[in-house]
Structure 1
Amino acid sequence: MSNPANVGATPVDEKGDISVQHYDNVELTNKALNEGAKQATAAEHNLTFMQAIKTYKRAAIWSVLISTTVIMEGYDTTLLGSFFGYPQFQKKYGYLTEKDGYQVDANWMSNLNVIAACGNIIGALLNGYLTAKYGHRIVLIGSLLLLTGFIFIVFFASSIEVMAVGTLFCNIPWGVFATSGPAYAAEVAPLALRGYLTAYVNLCWCIGQFISAGILKGLVNVDNQWSYRVPFAIQWVWPIPLAIFAFLAPESPWFLVRAGRLEEAKRSLERLSQPEHNIDYNAQIALMVHTNKLEKEERKGVTYYDAFRGTNRRRTEIACMAFLSQITNGGALCYSGSFFFQQTGIDASTSYGISLGGTGIAFVGTVISWFYLSRWGRRTIWFVGFSSLVVILFLIGVLASLPNQTKSLAWAQSLLTIVWLGAYSMSVGPIVYTLVAEIGSTRLRTQTVVLARSTYYVGNIICGGLIQPRLLSPTAWDAKGKTAWFWFVLAFLTNIWGYFRLPETKDRTFEELDIMFQKGIPARKFADYQIDIDEEFSTQR
C-alpha cells in the first residue's frame, strides 16, 4: 500500500517493513513527517463510530479493562460515606447520644473524609510522576498489589484511629486508579471512540457505587460486626484479576512515543487494532511524533511545573475547574444520600434502599449519555446538565426552608437528590472525564489529569470533608435540607465560569487542540473554528 509517510525513509524494522524510528530524529518541518501526520488526521476525522468499533475493538476492550480499576474507587467512596449512617458501624466506632442513639462523631466524619482525600492526592501525584517514567501498566500493577495488603488494615480496624490509618493507605492506590483510567482511555482510543471510552470511567464509578449500595442494603439489618466487615472484605475480589489484565495490556503508544520508543509504539498500535483493516501505522506514529514535537517546540516538558507554563496554564485551569465542578455541584449532599435521608426522618433500611435505587439510576443515566455524546458537544452537555443541577439544588433548599416540615416534604427532598443523581449521570458526571482526558497536551496528559483530580480531592477535603458532615450531622450544625442553599450558591458561580471558560473539544484531534490553544481561541468559538490543515502542517512553528 502506498504510504506518503515513508517518502525518503530507508531504515527497516525486523520484519523488513519501513521503520518509524527515524521520525524521532527529524525536524518538525520534515516533509515525510508532515505528510504522514496529515494523512492520519484525515483518517481520524473520516472514521465513523461503526468503523472504529470494527477496527479498534481491541483498543476498546483494553481501555474498558484498565478503566475498571475505577470501580474500586467508586465502591469505596460510597462505602465510607454510607457507613456514617450504618447502625453497626455507628455502634462500633461512634458513641451513644441522648436523642439520636449511636452516632459517629462529626469531627471523625470530617477527619475520615479528609484523610481519604489526602491519600487520593498522594496517589494521584505519585501516578503523574511514576507514569511519566514507567508507563501506565507497571504503575497500575504495583498499586493493585499494594492495595491487597492495605485492605487488611481497614478490615481488622479495632478503633476509629486504626480505621483512619487504613483509609489513608487504601486511598493512595485509589488515587492512582482514578487518574490512570481517563488518561489511558484517551491515549489508546481513536477519535470516534474517545468520548465513549473516557465517559465509561464515570460508568465504572456508578458500577462501584451500585455494588456498594446493594451490599450495604443487604447487610444493614445484620446485628453484628460482619455487617460492616463484609463490605470491606469484598474489596479483595478485584486486585489480582485486574493486575493480570494490566500485565497483559498493551502500553499506551503515546507514552512510548514520548519515550522515543517508536517501534514499540507501532507494535502497541498493532495490538490495539485489527491489522486486516489496512491501517497505516506509520502515518499514525507520524501524527503522534508531530504532535509531540509541536509541544516540545513550545518548551512543554513532562513535569508538574510545565503544566502551568504557556498555553498549558489555560488547559490546566480548565481541567481543574471541570473536575472541581463535580464538587461544587452539590455532590457531597446528594451522594451522601443514606445519611441525608436519615436526617430528614427516614429510617435506616429505607434510606439504604433509596440509595440503592439512586445508584441504579446513576448507572442508567451514564448509559443514556452515550446516545447523544457523539451528537452534542462536550460543552453543551456540561452546561445544560450543570444548569439542571443548579435548579434542583434550589428546589431542595426551598422545600427545606418551608415551615412545619412534614414527612412528605422529607420524601420530596430525598427524591430530588435522586433526580439530581440522574441528571448528573446523564451530563456532568461522564462528560467531565471526557473533557479532562482531552484537554491536556499529549506530553502532559497524565499530569493534567492528576492535577485536575487532585483539585477535586482538595475540594472534597474542604467541602465534603470539613463542611458537609458538619452541615448535616445532628451533633454539629444540623442544617438538614437547608444545606442545599450552600451548594446552590457554589453551583451557580461554577455555571458562570463554565459559560465563559469551558471550550468544545468534540471531533478535535490532539494536534488541532494544540493549534487552537496556541492561537488563543476563546472558549465559545472552539466549536466553530476552522483549521486550514495544509497551512498548519506546512508552517514552521
Structure 2
Amino acid sequence: MADRVDAIEEEKAQASVQQYDNVDFSNKVLIENAKAATAAEHSLTFIQAIKTYKRAAIWSILISTTVIMEGYDVTLLGSFFGYPEFQKKYGYWTENAGWQVDATWMSNLNVIAAVGNIIGAMLNGYLTTKYGHRVVLIGSLILLSGFIFIVFFAQSIEILFVGTLFCNIPWGVFATSGPSYAAEVAPLALRGYLTAYVNLCWCIGQFISAGVLKGLVDVPNQWSYKIPFAIQWVWPVPLAIFAYLAPESPWVLVRAGKLEEAKKSLMRLSEPSHDVDYDAQIALMVHTNRLEKEERKGVSYYDAFRGTNRRRTEIACMAFLSQITNGGALCYSGSFFFQQTGIDASTSYAISLGGTGIAFLGTVISWFYLSKWGRRTIWFTGFSFLVVILLLIGILATIPNQTKSLAWAQSLLTIVWLGAYSMSVGPIVYTIVAEIGSTRMRTQTVVLARSTYYIGNIICGGFIQPRLLSPTFWDAKGKTAWFWFVLAFWTNVWGYFRLPETKDRTFEEMDIMFQKGISARKFADYQIDVDEEFSR
C-alpha cells in the first residue's frame, strides 16, 4: 500500500512540472510561478537559506574541493624552481647562482601547464553540456590518477614537461566545474559564499603545498620533490565518490529538457520539510531558459560572443584576467622571488607558508562582508590596494645600494599583497565569473574566462615573469613590480567603467538588465518592474 502511495505522489510530482514542457514563453501559469520563485529568492535570508539548503551547500563544497588539487599543483611547480634538490635534478650549475633550472625550461613548464588547463577547460565546456558535471568530473579524476605517474617517475625535464601537460588537462576541468556547479545549486542568499569558497579551495591547496615543501626542503635526496608529487594520489578516489553521489545541477537538467529529474535534484539539494515550492523554482528555470533562447538559441562557444553574451563574456574574461594583471605572477612566485632578493631557501619557504596561511584567513574574512558590500565594490577597492602595493615594491626595489632590510621589505609587501588579494579580488572574481554568464552559457562563459586567465598566465607567468626574475636572464628582482603596476593600473580603470554589480540579482533579472544595456555603474540601483518584464 505504501509503495502505491509513493508511486501516486511521484506521478503527481511529475505531472506538476510536465505542465511547463513545451509551453509558450508567455504562458500565464509559467509566468506567475516564475514571479513567485523570484520573490521567494529575494525574501530568503542567509539563516533561512542555510537551514533549507544546507544539502546544496554541502554538495557544492564537496564538488568545489576538486579545486584544491589545482591550487596545490600550481604552487608546487612554481616553488620547485627554487627547490635545491629539484634544481640539481632538472637544472644545471652556474658560477654566480649555483644550481638553477634553465629560464627557458621554467617558461616551457609554465606554458605547457597553462596549455593543458585550456584544453581541459574547453573540453569541460563541451562535455558538460552533453553529460553534466558529475560524469565529466569522475572521468577527469580517473585520468588524473594515471597522469600523475608520468611526473612522479620523470627522469628528465622533457618527461616532466609531458607529464605536466597531461596532468593539467583534468585540473582545467576542475577549475571551471567548481564555480559553475556552485552557482547553479545555490540559492541567491548563499551563491556569493559558495562561489567564493572556490577561492578558499585554491588557498587550501596552496597552503598544503607550501607546508609540504617547507617540511621537505632540507631532505638531501630525490624524495624531497617526489613526495609532493605522490601526495596528489590522495585526492582522486574520495573526490570521485563525492561526484558520483552528488545530485546533478538542476539547471543542466532543465536545459536538457529533463524537468522531472531537475525537480528530484532540487529535492536532494534542499529540505522538503521546509515547504519549498519546487514547481515555482522549475518554472523560474524554464522561464529564464526560454528568455535566453528568445535572444540566442545556440549554446556553442561562438554564441558566447553574440548579442548580450558578448558583454558578459568580456566581463568574465577580464575578471579572471585581473588575477594575472594584478601582479600575481610576482607575488605568487613566493620562495623563488624571496631567494632572488637574497633570502635563503629555508627562510623563503617559511615565508611562503605564512603567506598561504594569510591567504586562507583573508578568504574567510571576506565572507563577513560579502553579503553587505557588492561584488563591484569589493573588487575595485581590493584591486586599488594591490596597485598601491606594487607601486611601493617598485619604489623600494629602485633605491640604489640594496640592503637586506630593503629585500625583507619587498618580500613582506608581497605577503601584504596576498592578504589584500585574498580578502577581495581572489574570492570575488569566482563569484563574478560564476554569476555573470547567462544560464544557458554559464559553463562556456566560465571556460572562456578561465582560458583567458591561462593565456594570460602563458604570456605573463610563462614568458615574462621567469625572465624578469631569473638571475640567468634579466635579473630584475623587485623592479619587476613596475611592469605589474602598469598592467594593474589599467585593469583597475577597466573595472571602474565595465564591471557591473550582480549582488542580490537573480539570473533572470541579470538577463533583463543585460538585454536593456544598463550601464555597469547603474546596475546596483536599477529598479526592475517585475510585472512588466515577466509579461513581455
Tell me, yes or no, whether TM beats 0.5: yes
Aligned to 1:245: 242
Do the aligned partners of 1:12 and 1:18 also contact (CA within 8 Å) in 2?
Answer: no
Give how far 1:275 is off: 0.4
Aligned to 2:295: 298
Aligned to 1:171: 168
Q: 1:185 aligns with which of 177, 182, 187?
A: 182
Do the aligned partners of 2:14 and 2:260 also contact (CA within 8 Å) in 1?
Answer: no
Aligned to 2:80: 83
Give how far 1:18 is off: 3.9
For 2:426, give the aligned amino acid. G
Describe the superposition over 1:447-502 as per-residue Cα deviations: whole angstroms up to 9, x where unpaired.
Answer: 00000000000000000000000000000000000000000000000000000000
Q: What secondary structure, in the 3-state scheme, does the structure 2 residue paired with 1:102 have?
A: strand
Aligned to 1:110: 107
Give how far 1:16 is off: 5.9
Aligned to 2:505: 508
Q: 2:275 aligns with which of 266, 275, 278?
A: 278
Mapped partners of 1:320, 1:222: distance in 2? 41
Aligned to 1:51: 48
Give how far 1:14 is off: 2.4
Number of aligned positions between the proteins: 529
Q: How does 1:26-425 map to 2 (within 5 A)?
A: 26-425=23-422
Give how far 1:538 is off: 1.2
Do the aligned partners of 1:82 and 1:338 also contact (CA within 8 Å) in 2?
Answer: yes
For 1:280, give the aligned amino acid. D
Aligned to 2:3: none
For 1:74, give the aligned amino acid. G
Going from structure 1 to structure 2, the CA distance change for 1:298 and 1:17 (only over 3 Å counts) comes to closer
Mapped partners of 1:148, 1:418: distance in 2? 33
Mapped partners of 1:16, 1:458: distance in 2? 47
Do the aligned partners of 1:13 and 1:19 also contact (CA within 8 Å) in 2?
Answer: no
Aligned to 2:448: 451
Mapped partners of 2:393, 2:21: distance in 1? 57
Q: What secondary structure, in the 3-state scheme, does the structure 2 residue paired with 1:96 have?
A: strand
Do the aligned partners of 1:300 and 1:443 also contact (CA within 8 Å) in 2?
Answer: no
Give how far 1:99 is off: 1.0
Aligned to 1:4: none
Report the RMSD for the aligned CA atoms in angstroms: 0.9
Describe the superposition over 1:494-518 as per-residue Cα deviations: whole angstroms up to 9, x where unpaired.
Answer: 0000000000000000000000000
Q: What secondary structure, in the 3-state scheme, does the structure 1 residue paired with 2:85 have?
A: helix
Mapped partners of 2:54, 2:44: distance in 1? 13
Mapped partners of 1:484, 1:386: distance in 2? 15
Give how far 1:301 is off: 1.6
Q: What secondary structure, in the 3-state scheme, does the structure 1 residue paired with 2:99 have?
A: strand
For 1:430, give the aligned amino acid. P
Describe the superposition over 1:30-89 as per-residue Cα deviations: whole angstroms up to 9, x where unpaired.
Answer: 000000000000000000000000000000000000000000000000000000000000
Going from structure 1 to structure 2, the CA distance change for 1:17 and 1:307 (only over 3 Å counts) comes to closer
Q: 1:481 aligns with which of 474, 478, 483?
A: 478
Q: What secondary structure, in the 3-state scheme, does the structure 2 residue paired with 1:531 have?
A: coil
Mapped partners of 1:82, 1:12: distance in 2? 57
Aligned to 2:5: none
Aligned to 1:25: 22
Aligned to 1:494: 491
Mapped partners of 1:345, 1:150: distance in 2? 36
Q: What secondary structure, in the 3-state scheme, does the structure 1 residue paired with 2:441 have?
A: helix
Give how far 1:22 is off: 2.7
Do the aligned partners of 1:65 and 1:245 also contact (CA within 8 Å) in 2?
Answer: yes
Q: What secondary structure, in the 3-state scheme, does the structure 2 residue paired with 1:58 have?
A: helix
Mapped partners of 1:132, 1:472: distance in 2? 42
Mapped partners of 2:55, 2:235: distance in 1? 22
Describe the superposition over 1:180-212 as per-residue Cα deviations: whole angstroms up to 9, x where unpaired.
Answer: 000000000000000000000000000000000
For 1:71, give the aligned amino acid. I
Where does structure 1 differ by over 3 angstroms across 4 or more consecutive aligned residues? Answer: 15-18
For 1:333, give the aligned amino acid. L
Mapped partners of 1:338, 1:484: distance in 2? 16
Do the aligned partners of 1:19 and 1:263 also contact (CA within 8 Å) in 2?
Answer: no
TM-score (norm 1): 0.97
Q: What secondary structure, in the 3-state scheme, does the structure 2 residue paired with 1:25 have?
A: coil
Mapped partners of 1:24, 1:501: distance in 2? 37
Give how far 1:17 is off: 6.2
Aligned to 1:5: none
Do the aligned partners of 1:37 and 1:286 also contact (CA within 8 Å) in 2?
Answer: yes
Give how far 1:299 is off: 1.7
For 2:170, give the aligned amino acid. P
Do the aligned partners of 1:12 and 1:19 also contact (CA within 8 Å) in 2?
Answer: no
Mapped partners of 1:264, 1:17: distance in 2? 9
Mapped partners of 1:171, 1:22: distance in 2? 44
Describe the superposition over 1:110-150 as per-residue Cα deviations: whole angstroms up to 9, x where unpaired.
Answer: 00000000000000000000000000000000000000000
Q: 1:461 aligns with which of 450, 458, 462?
A: 458
Mapped partners of 1:531, 1:274: distance in 2? 30
For 2:418, give the aligned amino acid. L
For 1:411, give the aligned amino acid. W
For 1:277, give the aligned amino acid. H
TM-score (norm 2): 0.98
Describe the superposition over 1:313-356 as per-residue Cα deviations: whole angstroms up to 9, x where unpaired.
Answer: 00000000000000000000000010000000000000000000
Mapped partners of 2:96, 2:248: distance in 1? 57
Q: What secondary structure, in the 3-state scheme, does the structure 2 residue paired with 1:251 have?
A: coil
